[in-house]
Amino acid sequence: MKFDTPAGTNPIDQGKVVGRPTPRIDGKFKTTGTAPYAYERHDVAPNQAYGYILGASIAKGTITSIDTAEAEAANGVIGIVSTLDHKPVPLGPMNTANLFGGGEVQHYHQAIAMVVAESFEQARAAAHLIRVDYARGEGSFDLKRAAPSAEPVEDSEKRQGDFEAAFGNAPVTLDATYTTPDESHAMMEPFATIAAWEGDKLTVWTSNQMIQWNKRDLAKALDMPIEKVRVDSPYIGGGFGAKLFLRADAVVAALGAKQVGRPVKLSMQRPLTFNNSTHRAATIQRIRFGAGEDGKLTAIAHESTSGNLPGGGPESAINQTELLYAGENRLTAMRLAILNLPEGNAMRAPGEASGLMALEIAMDEMAEKLGMDPVAFRKANDTQVDPMNPERPFSKRKMIECLDRGAREFGWERRNPQPGRNREGRWLVGHGMAVGFRNNLLMKSGARVRLSGDGIVTVETDMTDIGTGTYTILAQTAAEMMGLPIERIRVELGDSDYPISAGSGGQWGANNSTSGVYAACVKLREQVAQSLGFNSDEVEFADGQVRAGERSFPLGHAAAENDLTAEDSIEYGNLDKQFQQSTFAGHFVELAVDAYTGEAHLRRMLAVCEAGRILNPISARSQVIGAMTMGAGAALMEHLVVDKRFGFFVNHDLAGYEVPVHADIPHQEVIFLEETDPVSSPMKAKGVGELGLCGVSAAIANALYNATGARVRDYPITLDKYLDRLPAVA
């Protein structure tokens, strides 16, 4: 189905199922421990052996030898896979790091061997008996030190007007530098795979967000036809972008299974989740503003430097600055430093999450220079068109509505604008806000729907559910389209034998995958009408019945003799070129700082979001509060500490890498504006999964400044960075 004109009225607009708060249909499996995650698929292949990965103990250099003799003689060992026995395969463009093969070491904990044994414990013990000799190379591990020699990223510099002249002539200016650290996904389920061969065909039961990307890259890594690879991933215990890409667990499990002639299962040990996987790369961001006395920005510049492995890309922290605020003279640019740390790549809201951490502090600093309220300053610089292309309007842009609603619900008018002046006993209380922004991305997505004689509709697509509620929103879509209660819909996900979907990531999954189901259901409705002798233009699907005029039949009657099956994909024209499609939020935070110890405590958080039609308010709210929690971690505690001598992340486990817990965030509220965007898709929806993260860290930073008067521009904002600047205790 081609979607190239703004959507008119369609069956989704009925709102009988879509848009209603609906408990997750997979919730009972997750809460009872019966959801089949990758490592727990004991029934899919008999006689499974266990694998254990050995990671490199240097960050850069070459392997001169691997001695496996002692490990091979250990109890229970079936075989050992060595990187020296395989050629490296450059996957690109999604994967920068070499996952396995060859003697070059690109980063610490790179997979260099895997032991296959009868038990996990035997495999682990034997892995530590492998002797590896290296020729260590000179590495670069410090972004600050490497930044002066960082190279401009090709085509990243964008200009409009004359920034330098406008900045030089502006009566009020800001020139500030902000830093964000390396961060890790730290999802609950580690990377895990079971691999089994049947002749020359490989099946992997794995944990991956993008089934077709995984299938394509696994076939390439193993130098085999793509049609001989099957990937199955029905449940994923968190991904946050790390599981967008093929990782070493799938590659070495497949190689090990082929070598020993048995299915092999393995789970990456937690340190490898940090050092072997991708991460959000650190940034150094310089922001310059020029404004008139009226508060209107006349000059905007945002330049960001980040690091990655050779061949990798930057953390695109300037994305939002190209679109978020008006200003006729603009400059954005990125630079990339070559570092020998693990691969920097997509992590929830790549680009905007880091960029807004800096931009929205800078907006607060500029508002203070102008003597303006932070909300009013942002509203004064709203735009309804792409600032870099004024002929291109936003499809929907209700940033001001988000801010007004948020300010009203939060009680912003009671905020004391004087930093460090609001006390409650020993507590310094602050209030902060920021704008959230994330683009809406359109991707082709397909599905197959099948109607059986009992009136059950089955949805099949390789779409994944990473804890976001995909099973439920796809069931809601099919139920709305076919006039059924959600209990009459079955959803099967994550199998590469099913039609290719958009996959989960970038907050593009919900809108595109439901649109693919919509397209398939349109075809199925046509088949049902034809089977029952109806004119498809006059048919109504409701309450399990198909009606036209005076005639009515149960839906299953159309498939009484044979199942009816329809398959289609949603494809988009150039609407995203004609209109800028984005999502917006207003984030508001109250935070208290102990005047004696400097400890910061979040008291309440509010997000008001505009993201088109909200398909399921329950799961959408969960996505946003989860993202807000993640933003709190980024603001106050999350930081991959780099050993700058040897090039690895020191705090590479869940004991050392701190993330927020329930006690850290006592109250969160989410409000969705009642809104649809007819340009986005037939569903008129957009994404929310990353919007809830974008901007919230800066809102926390701004609240801490309001509480203490100490402005911190380097994340995470730990108390050592402001303790000596707290107001004196009376």
Asked whether the beta carbons of 226 and 216 are under 8 A apart, the reply is yes
CA 664/CA 658 separation, integer angstroms: 12
How many other CB atoms are found less than 10 A from the CB of residue 536?
Answer: 13
HSE value, Cβ hemisphere, 13 Å, CA-based, for 614: 23
Residue in 693, 687, 717, 688 with CA at minimum distance from that of residue 705? 717
Cis peptide leading into residue 716 (ω within 30°): yes
Q: How far is CA 632 from CA 259, 380, 439, in A?
A: 46, 27, 21
Q: Can you tell me whether residue 716 is helix, strand or coil? A: coil
- Burial of residue 276, with CB atoms counted within 10 A of its CB: 0-12 exposed, 13-18 middle, 19 or more buried: buried
Residue in 152, 609, 141, 635 with CA at minimum distance from that of residue 354? 635
Q: Of 189, 460, 610, 690, which one is the catalytic site residue?
A: 690
CA 639/CA 662 separation, integer angstroms: 19
- Amino acid residing at 370: L
- Amino acid residing at 256: G
- Amino acid residing at 721: K
CA 186/CA 623 separation, integer angstroms: 17
CB proximity list for 225: less than 8 A, separation 6 or greater? 219
Which DSSP letter does residue 74 get? S
Q: How far is CA 193 from CA 119, 232, 276, 575, in A?
A: 15, 10, 15, 39
> Which residues, in sequence order, are bridge partners of residue 674?
none
Residue in 374, 356, 431 with CA at minimum distance from that of residue 602? 431
Asked whether the beta carbons of 436 and 609 are under 8 A apart, the reply is yes
CA 504/CA 427 separation, integer angstroms: 42
CA 377/CA 354 separation, integer angstroms: 22
Residue in 511, 678, 572, 513 with CA at minimum distance from that of residue 2? 572
Asked whether the beta carbons of 437 and 359 are under 8 A apart, the reply is no
Q: Any idea what the Cα angle at residue 137 is, between residues 131 and 143, rounded to 5°? A: 120
In the chain, how long is the greatest CA-to-CA distance?
A: 85
Residue with tokens 């000596």: 724
> Which residues, in sequence order, are bridge partners of residue 272?
none
- Amino acid residing at 396: K
Residue with tokens 């920005």: 297
Asked whether the beta carbons of 479 and 521 are under 8 A apart, the reply is no
CA 94/CA 321 separation, integer angstroms: 25
Catalytic (active site) residue 690: yes
| Phi, psi for residue 280 in degrees, rounded to 5 | -80, 120
> Which residues, in sequence order, are bridge partners of residue 420?
none
Q: Can you tell me whether residue 640 is helix, strand or coil? A: coil
Q: Can you tell me whether residue 511 is helix, strand or coil? A: helix
Which DSSP letter does residue 661 get? -
Q: How far is CA 157 from CA 306, 322, 359, 383, 701, in A?
A: 15, 11, 17, 22, 28
Structure tokens at 20: 């209603």
Residue in 333, 324, 334, 331 with CA at minimum distance from that of residue 299? 331
Residues designated as active site: 690
